[in-house]
Amino acid sequence: MIQDRARALNIRYRAVGIALDREPESGLRHLRQVGPMFTEVASGGQWLSLFATPFFWQDFPGEPATPQLIIIAREVSRHGGEGETITFGVEGQRVILRVVGLQEIREWTRAGAPVPMAILKTVNGH
């Protein structure tokens, strides 16, 4: 549902699965069981992994619990042209929605997965 809404607004969409298992392979097995919706995955390192740390302790601090769904808006810019070094910048990252716990995620989905799309529209200039 979220991916369809993002497409309609011409917003790039990524679904990132982060498994907090100690061993990367067991986390990857779990993410494969959850479903094929992920466009990126990370596994291993537990709560202090390079991928989990920003979502729980640094950039987007929130309740350290699993599972959870976090929708983040961010602006990405590309710099440099032909013959120049190309770099990318990421600015304005912010949490749009956080749903914590399996029951809450199920209830959110049953309610039609409401997302404050007005906020997302401003990200892409619509």
Q: Which residues of the chain have pLDDT under 50?
A: 124, 126
Residue 110 lies in a domain: yes
Residue 32 lies in a domain: yes
Q: What is the pLDDT of residue 120?
A: 54
- Domain range for 115 is 2-121
Q: What is the pLDDT of residue 79?
A: 87
Residue 126 lies in a domain: no
Q: What is the pLDDT of residue 117?
A: 60
Q: What is the pLDDT of residue 118?
A: 57
Which of 54, 77, 64 has its CA nearest to residue 124? 77
**Number of domains composing the chain:** 1
pTM of the model: 0.75
Residue 22 lies in a domain: yes
Q: What is the pLDDT of residue 126?
A: 43
Please give the structure tokens belonging to residue 120: 């997302």
94 contacts 104 by C-beta, under 8 angstroms: no
